[in-house]
Amino acid sequence: MKMRKSLLLAVGFALILSTILAGCGGNKSADQGKTLIYGRGADSTKLDPSLVTDGESMRVTENVMESLVDYKKDNLEVVPGLAEKWETSEDGKTWTFHLRKGVKFHDGTDFNADAVVFNFERWMNQEMLPSKKDDFIYYASMFGGFKKDKGHVIESVKAVDEHTVEFKLKEPQGPFLQNLAMSPFAIASPEAVKKDPQEFAKHPVGTGPFKFESWKKGDTITLVKNEDYWQKGLPKLDKIIFKSIPDNSARLTALQSGDIDVMDGLNPDDAQRVESDEKLQLYKRPPNNVGYLAMNMEKKPFDNKKVRQAINHAVNKKALIKSFYAGLAEPAKNPMPPSLWGYNDEIQDYEYDLEKAKKLLKEAGYEKGFEVEFWAMPEPRPYMPDGKKIAEYIQADLKKIGIKTKIVSPEWTTYLEKAQQGEHEMILLGWNGDNGDPDNFIYVNLDKDNTRIPAQNYAFYKSDKLHDILIQAQRETEQSEREKLYMEAQEIIHEDAPWVPLVHAQPPLAGQSYVKGYVPHPRGSESLAEVDIQK
């Protein structure tokens, strides 16, 4: 009897143990459905896309919230989103959008014209901000400021009926449709925002293919499938976990060991290694970026053009690219990539010439050089795989002309916040294009409008001549005329040298061979609704 009882206990224990072990297959166990773990270099800053400019925040919100219009899955051509069709008046000042019917936000409330009006009124009037430090920084950049500002483009947004929205513009805006497709203008649930704007920035509520579940700061953000998504058959995944792994090499190790399924920020030197591994696949994001060194022109000696030009002559871009990009980049001479229409290829880059650099410093009154604090990104970015090492490389170049730099590297969120306040002297940053329009590179990053705090123009460069050209280019609707204006704008920027444009990168990514349907988008983040796991 005792033996039989012992045998039954042993069998029971074995069954329990096997059940426990079956559940230890990580997040991809059969009972939990299909889970994709996306390894990335940094955590998000906030999850209300209208408040942020960093790609890591939008990478998440892209899957939770949607805009009126969208881009194709592999390029920046505008296609229907929450609006299924639209039309514009002959003068380009009235835009009418016809919304999809039957769409609901994740909290069960209806998506309709009133929801669209609420979001735009919130942004343009700077209402319901989570804190005094926050602002709708992208809205101001793309639509000429806020409603109280002289240059504000949108006169009114009106609900014509439940499923029709009308935008009235003060002036035509060439990139208006492209702007609306951007992640910061995704439509939030009005009820969720009204309930608690601060909580919304941590817990977004949209209409997208995935719903927000949890956020463990510095570690993971988890999204789950929206079972009531309006696009039938999507999403294909049941869950996405965005996992922060700051070191690129550690992230690749996690991919090779099967701890994650997809990773961005692959070191260019590791691309060949991934390509030769049959268990992995290599992706290349289409180049649509610029990595740059900005000099704060509100601080000496960067108020002197000859100093800025000298630094342009002192940085050896080709050697830098050879050392850090493994052939997956090209030297930059303009603030926008050559893949974009309107690129001015006639401009001659500042050649690497230390004697010219020294001569210019002498003419500026800095023959013996100077000391400066040099900010380097603490996290890998698509356009800059290792900000600290690249800063050290540039530090060595500048030392050759007598400029001594002290490299500082605050935590990523602090880095961005302090830079937007203009606390830096010289800083490494970059930009991944959002919408396929030159305006998104030049106006956003270098117009005087965007030196308002919190700034996106990190050089604090203010040129009235450039501003007039960029506003004219925004109001022009003929692309050929806009192209001429942007060509002229690049000439002005080249001469004034607020930046050292460093590099246009083709960022490599990697994934497991069983990941299907993942297509890296030129804007730097993408919806994962069509991604599947097929083992």
pLDDT for the residue 116: 98
pLDDT for the residue 25: 36
Sort strands 35-40 and 154-161 into parallel, antiparallel or unpaired.
unpaired
pLDDT for the residue 32: 62
Q: Are residues 79 and 189 in the same domain?
A: yes
pLDDT tens digits, 136-173: 999 998 999 999 999 999 999 999 999 999 999 999 99
Q: Are residues 478 and 521 in the same domain?
A: no
- Residues contacting residue 195 through CB under 8 Å, at least 6 positions apart: none
Instruction: Report the first-to-last Cα separation within the chain, whole angstroms.
Output: 47
Q: Are residues 298 and 413 in the same domain?
A: yes
CA 58, 60, 62, 64 dihedral sign is negative
Question: What is the residue range of 235's domain?
Answer: 35-42+208-285+508-533
pLDDT tens digits, 317-362: 999 999 999 989 999 999 999 989 999 999 999 999 999 999 999 9
pLDDT for the residue 477: 87
Q: Are residues 373 and 514 in the same domain?
A: no
Q: Which of 138, 163, 193 delimits the end of a domain?
A: 193
Query: Domain count of the chain?
Result: 3
Helix, strand, coil fractions of the chain, as percent rounded to 5: 35, 20, 45
Within-domain flag for 12: no
pLDDT for the residue 444: 93
pLDDT for the residue 15: 39
Which CATH number belongs to the domain containing residue 473 in this structure? 3.10.105.10
Within-domain flag for 201: no
Query: What residue ranges of the chain have pLDDT lower than 70?
Result: 1-32
Contact in structure between 72 and 59 (CB atoms under 8 Å): no
Within-domain flag for 310: yes
Q: Are residues 461 and 523 in the same domain?
A: no
Q: Are residues 275 and 411 in the same domain?
A: no
Q: Are residues 429 and 456 in the same domain?
A: yes
Within-domain flag for 475: yes
Q: Are residues 325 and 224 in the same domain?
A: no
Q: Are residues 368 and 296 in the same domain?
A: yes
